[in-house]
Amino acid sequence: MAARQIRILAVASGGGHWVQLLRLRPAWVGCEVAYATVHPDSAVEVPGARFFSFRDASRKNKAAFAVVALQLFRAVAAVRPDVVVTTGSAPALLAVVFGRLFGARTLWIDSIANSEVMSSSGLRARRLAHQCLTQWPDLAADPVPRYWGAVL
């Protein structure tokens, strides 16, 4: 009997985070992938995949975090991913934490926008995610973040 497909939950905030996540799609060809992002309209860019949306939130708008936490918990619980991959931003840390609760391996890829220092959520992800990447070789450190290349 064939092994089941690996289940991925790919998470990104809107704008550049989402665009960068989409550029990684060849990495999960052959897997069963679900996406979570902020703009519901983004679903058209990933036809055929399960799609969840969550509220935009940041350190400037902490009240939204309770709502985002519920939305991301529901998404993780619905998908039961083997792997959570995210390009940030801060709300995606919740997807990492909830993913771990469900036994997923978790990968944080800091945005290529953060070329001088890692994002503050990326710095947190060093301890929360199984693997944490920067897209700038100068920012790589031991043991994390690693540099595995860039989205462009």
Partner 1 sequence: MFAFDRLVRAVDDWAAAHPAVPVLIQIGSGDYEPTTAAFVRMMPPAVYQQRIRDARLFVAHAGMGSIIAAIEAGKPLLMMPRRFDQGEHTTDHQFATLAKFAHRDGLHTATTIAELHGRIDALLADAGAPPAPIAPFASDELIGRVKAFIHGNDRG
**Contact residues for partner 1, defined by CB under 8 A:** 6, 8, 14-20, 23-28, 31, 39, 41-42, 44-45, 56, 58-60, 83, 85, 105, 107, 109, 111-117, 119-120, 131, 135, 148-152
The distance of closest approach from Cβ of residue 1 to partner 1 in the complex, given in angstroms and rounded to an integer, is 19
Per-position b or e across 38-50, b if 16+ CB within 10 A of its CB? beeebeeebeeeb
Q: Which is nearer to partner 1, 74 or 105 (CB)?
A: 105
Is 122 within 8 Å of 132 (Cβ atoms)?
A: yes
Rounded to the nearest 5°, which phi and psi values hold at 7? -100, 125
Q: Which is nearer to partner 1, 14 or 124 (CB)?
A: 14
Distance of alpha carbon 77 from alpha carbon 148, whole angstroms: 29
The distance of closest approach from Cβ of residue 51 to partner 1 in the complex, given in angstroms and rounded to an integer, is 13
Other C-beta atoms within 10 Å of 81: how many? Answer: 27
The distance of closest approach from Cβ of residue 151 to partner 1 in the complex, given in angstroms and rounded to an integer, is 4
